[in-house]
């Protein structure tokens, strides 16, 4: 895990955004929903804010404000990267024992209902939890999920 570079973390963050089920049932338990929505918003909006902050100084011929505008632009551009980095690190983080037990219970429930799943992991990470939650929301009915949500 320590041999990964920052670009791998960004890529993992993008994968995790696609893997994690953004559902209201999970919002109270996990920060992923908020981070994913904020990162998606930042990816759409922050490049425009960065460009506007620099162009406004240039349009009004304010050369003394240009360095501050460049710093604001760099900060705005770094926000989506911060979200992707956090999500990438979170994806590879091992689950705490309580969540690992919950992951195993959910995995067993999906398999007992006839769902095809990869074998349960001994030391699951958040990416396995995301995949299992996705499968649970797709395959299990609401009455089966009521126990957990």
Q: What is the DSSP string of 30-73?
A: -SHHHHHHHHHHHHHHHHHHHHHHHHHHHHTT-GGGHHHHHHHH
113 vs 71, more confident: 71
Structural domain count, the chain = 2
Shared domain check, 13 and 32: yes
Q: Residue range 40-66: average pLDDT? A: 96
Q: How many residues does the chain have?
A: 149
Shared domain check, 124 and 66: no
Shared domain check, 121 and 149: yes
Shared domain check, 84 and 19: yes
Tokens found for residue 88 = 């990438």
Shared domain check, 82 and 21: yes
Rounded CA separation 57/59 (Å):
6
Shared domain check, 23 and 73: yes
Report whether pLDDT(1) > 60. Answer: no
Per-residue pLDDT band at 31 (split at 50, 70, 90): very high
For the chain, give the mean pLDDT.
91
CB 90 within 8 A of CB 19: no
Long-range contacts of 109-116, Cβ-Cβ distance < 8 Å, separation of 24 or more: 109/136, 109/140, 109/144, 110/135, 110/136, 110/139, 110/140, 113/139, 113/140, 113/144, 115/139
Shared domain check, 83 and 107: no
* Domain range enclosing 25: 1-93
Shared domain check, 107 and 75: no
């Amino acid at each position: 895990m320590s041999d990964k570079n920052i670009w791998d973390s960004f890529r993992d963050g993008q994968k995790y955004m696609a893997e994690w089920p953004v559902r209201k049932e999970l919002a109270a338990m996990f920060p992923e929903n908020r981070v994913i929505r904020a990162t998606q918003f930042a990816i759409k909006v922050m490049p425009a804010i960065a460009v506007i902050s620099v162009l406004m100084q240039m349009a009004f011929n304010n050369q003394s404000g240009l360095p501050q505008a460049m710093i604001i632009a760099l900060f705005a551009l770094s926000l989506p990267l911060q979200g992707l980095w956090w999500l990438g690190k979170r994806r590879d983080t091992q689950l705490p024992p309580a969540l690992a037990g919950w992951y195993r219970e959910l995995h067993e429930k999906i398999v007992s209902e006839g769902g095809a799943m990869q074998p349960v992991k001994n030391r699951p990470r958040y990416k396995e939890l995301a995949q299992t939650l996705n499968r649970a929301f797709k395959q299990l009915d609401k009455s089966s999920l009521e126990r957990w949500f």
